[in-house]
Structure 1
Amino acid sequence: MNKTLIALILALSAGLSHSHGDAKPQHGGVVQMAEDVGFELVNEAEGLAIYLTDHGKPVATTGLTGKLSLLQGAARSEAELKPAGEGKLRAAGLKAEAGAKLVAVLNGIRGKTVTVRWSLQ
């Protein structure tokens, strides 16, 4: 393949990967992207929170439903995700430590069901 064509493809793909904002944490958590929405998982005093953003702006959580599953070692826990402020959902009572694996299933993200996964280091 022509080197110029390869360079053009790489340049275009690099631009596309940043077209929906970066996935940098804004609340000290871990960010995953799905359906062009950023999902930042954060340990908080009341439980695990998920902050939703689109191009750096909070995504409305009114009407969203879902659950968060936590696998920590051999222990598995689940909690319902409930709106907890602008652009924020909370799974009350859950805490995650290093090595935990989490899965959120959210209904109503742009009319779809979205699954988001995290593995904490």
Structure 2
Amino acid sequence: MTGDPLRVGDNILVAATVKKNDPQFGVLIELDGTDHYTLWVPDGFRYETVVPNLPVEPADGLWVAGVEPGGTNTRVFIRNDAEGHNDPDRRHHRHWWDVAAEEWIDWPTAVKRGADSARVLRTETTR
């Protein structure tokens, strides 16, 4: 990024989450940072790794700690395959419980939020 203002014809990268992928219609995406703004776009996108060098995902039942990026708050993430969401169309299943956010997330999202696979707190799920 050069800091120059955008101009007609520039190519930009837009962060979005895929909500549906239909070969007939294309891809339904939700733009990140917006209030649930979704739109259909023609297919032709390819998966881009959001977390480069993603660490190996810890096993089911582990509690992992982490520090929020740019922060000092410790976060806890619990992997629970039995209670989590194993959606067949997702690349990464949402079987990590983010204790602070109180939501099911996938491993790349946990890593973006600071999960560190080297910081195992417990080796059993007792929720």
TM-score class, shorter: under 0.3
| TM-score normalised according to structure 2 size | 0.26
| TM-score normalised according to structure 1 size | 0.26
From the two aligned structures, give the one with the greater helix fraction: 1
